């Protein structure tokens, strides 16, 4: 009779592997993840069955963390104009706090990521629409949620490709000015 699986160990391993992947990217081999979790590659397979199974779980956990953190940042706040909320959120989303997620999820936006997370591109779009729509509703423009999402995603892709923080920051500020004028 084999050992019973211990969910708390699996959870600890998953969190350590996710922390490592956010700091260093998804590795091609299991050894760096095993070292980060203080375990063996054999135990990773025991708990997650396959390399891809572990990578899927890491991506889900990282996405859960990102959505929790950034949804709170873009949530409308009583008494605060929504463009100001977005202005406060932008440095976290586009800066060091958001960079690990941009690196990790950037590769899932193309077809290479499809086997690890089928439907990721759709999920990565639709899960931000509701909080942005709530915010845009606070300024009487809920239909602008899609535009805001497109601007944010486009500027993040631009920032990832060029590293030009000052230009993308100016572009985001110009976008927010159009909302203030509305």
**What 3 state SS string does 42-109 have?**
HHHHHHHCCHHHHHHHHHHHHHHHHHHHHHHHHCCCCCCCHHHHHHHHHHHHHCCCCHHHHHHHHCCC
pLDDT at 106: 75
pLDDT at 87: 97
Q: Which tokens go with 59?
A: 């991506």
pLDDT at 47: 93
Q: Which residue has the tokens 């050992």?
A: 3
Q: Identify the CATH homologous superfamily for domain 7-181.
A: Tetracycline Repressor, domain 2 (1.10.357.10)
Cα–Cα distance for residue pair 121/110, rounded to 1 Å: 8
> Rounded to the nearest 5°, which phi and psi values hold at 132?
-70, -40
Rounded to two decimals, what is the model's pTM?
Answer: 0.84
pLDDT at 182: 57
pLDDT at 110: 59
Intervals of the chain under pLDDT 70: 1-5, 108-114, 181-182
> Rounded to the nearest 5°, which phi and psi values hold at 161?
-75, -35
Q: How many CB atoms are located within 10 Å of the residue 165 CB?
A: 12
pLDDT at 119: 78
């Amino acid at each position: 009779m084999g050992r019973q699986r211990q969910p708390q160990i699996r959870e600890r391993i998953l969190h350590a592997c996710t922390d490592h992947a956010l700091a260093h990217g998804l590795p091609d081999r299991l050894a760096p993840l095993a070292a980060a979790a203080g375990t063996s590659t054999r135990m990773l397979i025991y708990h997650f069955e396959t390399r891809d199974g572990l990578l899927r779980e890491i991506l889900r956990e990282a996405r859960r963390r990102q959505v929790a953190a950034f949804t709170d940042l873009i949530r409308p706040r009583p008494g605060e104009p929504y463009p100001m909320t977005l202005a406060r959120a932008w440095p976290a989303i586009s800066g060091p706090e958001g960079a690990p997620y941009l690196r990790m999820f950037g590769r899932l936006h193309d077809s290479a990521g499809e086997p690890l997370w089928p439907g990721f591109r759709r999920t990565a779009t639709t899960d931000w629409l509701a909080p942005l729509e709530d915010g845009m509703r606070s300024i009487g423009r809920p239909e602008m949620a899609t535009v805001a999402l497109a601007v944010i995603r486009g500027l993040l892709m631009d920032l990832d490709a060029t590293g030009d923080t000052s230009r993308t920051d100016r572009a985001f500020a110009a976008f927010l000015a159009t909302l203030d004028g509305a």
